[in-house]
Amino acid sequence: MQNPMLEMIEAMQKMTQRLNKGQEVLQKSNQIDIGTAEKEEVWKMDKMRLFRYKRNEESPYKTPILISYALINRYYMMDLQPDRSLIRKLIDLGADVYILDTGYPTRNERFLSLDDYVNVYINKAVDFIRKSRNIDKINLMGICQGGTLSVIYSAIYPEKIKNLVTLVTPIDFSNKDGLLFKWAEDLDVDAIVEGFGGLIPGTFLDAGFQMLKPMLKPRKQKNLIDMLDDEAKMMNFLRMEKWINDLPDQAGEAYRQFIKDLYQQNKLVKGELVIGNHRIDLKKINMPLLTIYASEDHLVPPPTTRPLNDLVGSTDKELYEFPGGHIGVFTGARSQKELSPTIAQWLKDRD
């Protein structure tokens, strides 16, 4: 066994060298570019903005895709950097892509409910695309919580959706394998909404996410020290950090209903969920459905996502298991190689 004093000296030596290198690299990293795929704002309502990604030539697809992202975190994670971008890949494969940016709610938006998000914002965005493109139906792709909203939307307005794609989307909240699903049982949501004055801080939700992998931070810190002399790796790391730390607050009313009706009472699966004037019946979803879930997802475990396939009225439906975690679906190398082409081809076959 090595002399412990030598080991100490070695450890100190390595640490100081790397820390020093790290401060140099960080000093150079003034600009952390993220979400750089070119796009233009085509529609706006309150704080919602609809973007259309630019293409060099006309899309071979007749039906455009609207991406509905989660209200938590920001949509640009799907375009983290040019070589890790589900959106760029879809565009390269010919897709015509729109995305709905739900922005950063402030206290002014504290009363926004799920009804507003589904029946107003998503609905108006869908109508805008249909009208401007002179088409009856569009493709809807929902991510995580945005997937839940997309499913709800498709059950209310099946006549407007040609194909539905969900990625890592929680549907059956009865499974308590996921810690978030377990903890939700013991939360007094009304006290939370009231206590935070109707606007749930993104950092509050993030504290819960961090606990799902409690040692991720020390691991990350150690890995960071190991990668300090690799600028490319550092930039990858910094982009991801930027996204992780960009945490919009949540409109209290929408949060209240999402936790109470879904996490605590599982009303969507039971057919008891009411959004605005609509009782949500998943059997009304009759369009082709592609349900994508991640086998190692610790945020939205597979047992919460897969049941959608059996609950809808669609006859053309497919389950796709992605080997990886919740974020890897969008940023992993496999996502670029396999997932994006699968989605593009699936939509093309049904265009």
State the greatest distance between any 2 C-alpha atoms of the chain, in Å, as a whole number.
76
- Find the shortest distance in angstroms from Cβ 58 to other proteins: 20
Q: Smaller CB distance to other proteins: residue 132 or 345?
A: 132
Torsion angles phi and psi, residue 294, rounded to 5? -105, 130
- Find the shortest distance in angstroms from Cβ 26 to other proteins: 5
Q: Smaller CB distance to other proteins: residue 147 or 170?
A: 170
| 242 counts as binding other proteins under rule CB under 8 A | yes
Among 40, 58, 191, 315, binds other proteins (CB under 8 A): 191
- Identity of residue 307: P
Q: Smaller CB distance to other proteins: residue 57 or 218?
A: 218
Distance CA 195, CA 192 (A): 5
Residue 164 in tokens: 């539905």
- Find the shortest distance in angstroms from Cβ 350 to other proteins: 19
Q: Smaller CB distance to other proteins: residue 28 or 334?
A: 28
Candidates 70, 126, 119; CA nearest to 246 is 70
Q: Is 236 left (phi over 0), alpha (psi -120 to 50) or beta?
A: alpha
Considering only 167-175, 233-241, 302-310, 334-342, which stretch makes contact with other proteins by CB under 8 A?
A: 233-241
- Find the shortest distance in angstroms from Cβ 104 to other proteins: 16
Distance CA 153, CA 162 (A): 13
The answer to whether the CB of 172 falls within 8 A of the CB of 149 is no
- Find the shortest distance in angstroms from Cβ 216 to other proteins: 8
| 345 counts as binding other proteins under rule CB under 8 A | no
* Chain residues 195-214 in contact with other proteins, contact rule CB under 8 A: 195-198, 207, 210-214
* Chain residues 251-280 in contact with other proteins, contact rule CB under 8 A: none
Distances (CA, A) of 35 to 121, 159, 243, 245: 22, 32, 10, 15
Residues binding other proteins: what is the number (CB under 8 A)? 73
Distance CA 54, CA 40 (A): 7
Q: Is 314 among the catalytic positions?
A: no
Considering only 13-21, 258-266, 278-286, 301-309, which stretch makes contact with other proteins by CB under 8 A?
A: 13-21
| 174 counts as binding other proteins under rule CB under 8 A | no
Distance CA 57, CA 95 (A): 11
- Find the shortest distance in angstroms from Cβ 15 to other proteins: 6
Q: Which of 86, 144, 151, 292 is catalytic?
A: 144
For every residue of 43-73, DSSP letters joined together read EEETTEEEEEE--SS--S-SS-EEEE--SSS
* Chain residues 14-43 in contact with other proteins, contact rule CB under 8 A: 15-17, 19-20, 22-24, 26-27, 29-30, 32
- Find the shortest distance in angstroms from Cβ 13 to other proteins: 5
**In sequence order, what are the residues at sequence separation of 6 or more whose Cβ sits closer than 8 angstroms to the Cβ of residue 90?**
65, 97, 340, 343, 344
Torsion angles phi and psi, residue 261, rounded to 5? -75, -30
Q: Smaller CB distance to other proteins: residue 138 or 282?
A: 138
| 112 counts as binding other proteins under rule CB under 8 A | yes
| 227 counts as binding other proteins under rule CB under 8 A | no
The answer to whether the CB of 216 falls within 8 A of the CB of 223 is no
Considering only 126-134, 162-170, 260-268, 337-345, which stretch makes contact with other proteins by CB under 8 A?
A: 126-134
Q: Smaller CB distance to other proteins: residue 206 or 351?
A: 206
Active site residues: 144
